[in-house]
Every structure is written in C-alpha cells, then in structure tokens.
Amino acid sequence: MEFPNEAISEGSSQKKTGRGKIEIKRIENTTNRQVTFCKRRNGLLKKAYELSVLCDAEVALVVFSSRGRLYEYANNSVRGTIDRYKKACAASTNAESVSEANTQFYQHESSKLKRQIRDIQNLNRHILGEALSSLSLKELKNLESRLEKGLSRVRSRKHETLFADIEFMQKREMELQNHNNFLRAKIGEHERAQERQADMMGGSVCESIASESYDRNFFPAAVNLIDSNSNHQYSCQDHTALQLV
C-alpha cells in the first residue's frame, strides 16, 4: 500500500530524475516515431474527452497517421461538428466582408463630404471677393452673373419686406385712429353727462335758496302777530283790574 507522502516523494524524484526537454522535430527512427505517435495520440484523445466532459464543450478530434489511418473522437458527431465549424467560418467571413465593405463605403462618403466642404468654403471666399487669383476669366464672369442674380433677389425680397411693413403700419395707424375717435366720443359723452349733472345740481340749489328766503319772511310776521296778541291781552287784563279796584 502506498501513502500519499510516498507518492509525492516518488513523483518529485521522478521529476528530478526524468528526461529533459525533447527537441520538437521529426523523429527519424520509424519505430520511435510510431511509438511516440501511439502515446501522444492516446493522450490527445484522453484530453479531448476530459475537455468535453469537464467543460461541457463540443469537441471533435480527427487524426490521420503517416500511413493514412484515421483516428477520431467526438462527443456528438464529427460530421455535425464539422458542419457547425463551416457555418461559423462562413459567418465570420461574411461579417468580415460586410465590415470591410462598410469601412470602404464610409471612407468614400467621408472623402466626398470633405471635398464638398472644401468646394463650399472656396465658393464663400469667392463671393466675398477673396482668393480670386486662381479663377479664370470664364469663372469670373459666371461669378459676376451669379452675384448680380443674388443681388436682384435680395433687393426684391427687401422691397417686399418694406412694403409689407408699410402696409402693416398703415393698418395699425387706422386702428389707432379708430380707437382714438372712440375714446374722444367717450370723453365727450362723459363731459355732457357731467354738464347735465351740474345743471341739475344748480336748479336744486336755487329752489332751496328760494324756500329758505320765504321761510325767513314768514317767521318774523308770525312772531309779530304773537307779540301783538300778547300785548293786547295784557292791556285788557290791566283795564279789568283797574275797574275791579
């Protein structure tokens, strides 16, 4: 019975006393080459099996010997895995071709837009009267005719805008005049109403003054009448008193 420590010590001793690194090149000895092929093939098949089981991967292994013998392993089927591989390669190829076509298209569009921007910038400079030395006589004539057409359009648009503003101001003036006339009429009505009210207040004041003067004349007469009656009574009493005595 072997113990773990002993196994570890034996493994370490084997590693220490094992062979060194083998140079990776074709083995010239046929017997050694065949032995190495059998050992490495079995190890490769074992690793493929372990990879498919441990990692749940789809693995297909195909090996042909130097004599043409076929050795294969697949956890599903070699044909299905190969078909899947072909589809994946075709999809990646299509994706690469599509991305390459898109890249070329965008590069072409970018260069086209850059050229258009440069032409527009040059045209703006020419319209402003700059960088005219590079233009020929024909191009200068075309630029002159274009500027004249542009000026005529600008002037016509300016006149239309001015006429529209004048018409709007005239309409606004009429509206303000009508509103002013309406306000004047309202003010006149208000003034006439105030005059009528003042006339009515003046008539009532005259009546009250007349009534007050009439009452003032009446009350002294009544007082005089009362005074005369009282004096007459006093005189009568005096006469009677004298007679009685």
Residue 60: CB partners within 8 Å, gap ≥ 6? Answer: 72, 73, 74, 75, 76, 77, 78, 81, 82
What digits encode the pLDDT tens for the residues 128-143? 888 888 888 898 898 8
Residue 34: give its domain's CATH number. 3.40.1810.10
- Band (pLDDT 50/70/90 cuts) for residue 210 is low
Q: Which domain holds residue 50?
A: 22-102
Q: Is residue 26 domain-resident? A: yes
**How far is it, in rounded angstroms, from Cα 229 to Cα 46?**
165
- Helices 137-244, 78-127: axis angle to 10 degrees equals 80
Q: Is residue 74 domain-resident? A: yes
Q: Is residue 114 domain-resident? A: no
Q: Is residue 34 domain-resident? A: yes
Q: What predicted TM-score, i.e. pTM, was given to this entire model?
A: 0.34
- Band (pLDDT 50/70/90 cuts) for residue 213 is low
pLDDT above 70 as % of the chain: 73
Full DSSP string of 224-244? HHHHHHHHHHHHHHHHHHHHH
Q: Is residue 47 domain-resident? A: yes
pLDDT of 49: 92
Cβ neighbours, 10 Å, residue 45: 15
pLDDT of 227: 53
Above 70 in pLDDT, residue 151?
Answer: yes
Q: Is residue 63 domain-resident? A: yes
Q: Is residue 38 domain-resident? A: yes
pLDDT of 209: 58
Above 60 in pLDDT, residue 211?
Answer: no
- Band (pLDDT 50/70/90 cuts) for residue 86 is confident
Q: Is residue 197 domain-resident? A: no
**How far is it, in rounded angstroms, from Cα 99 to Cα 91?**
12
- Band (pLDDT 50/70/90 cuts) for residue 233 is very low
Residue 216: CB partners within 8 Å, gap ≥ 6? Answer: none
Q: What domain count does the chain have? A: 1
Choice among 40-49, 167-176, 201-210, 226-235 with the minimum mean pLDDT: 226-235
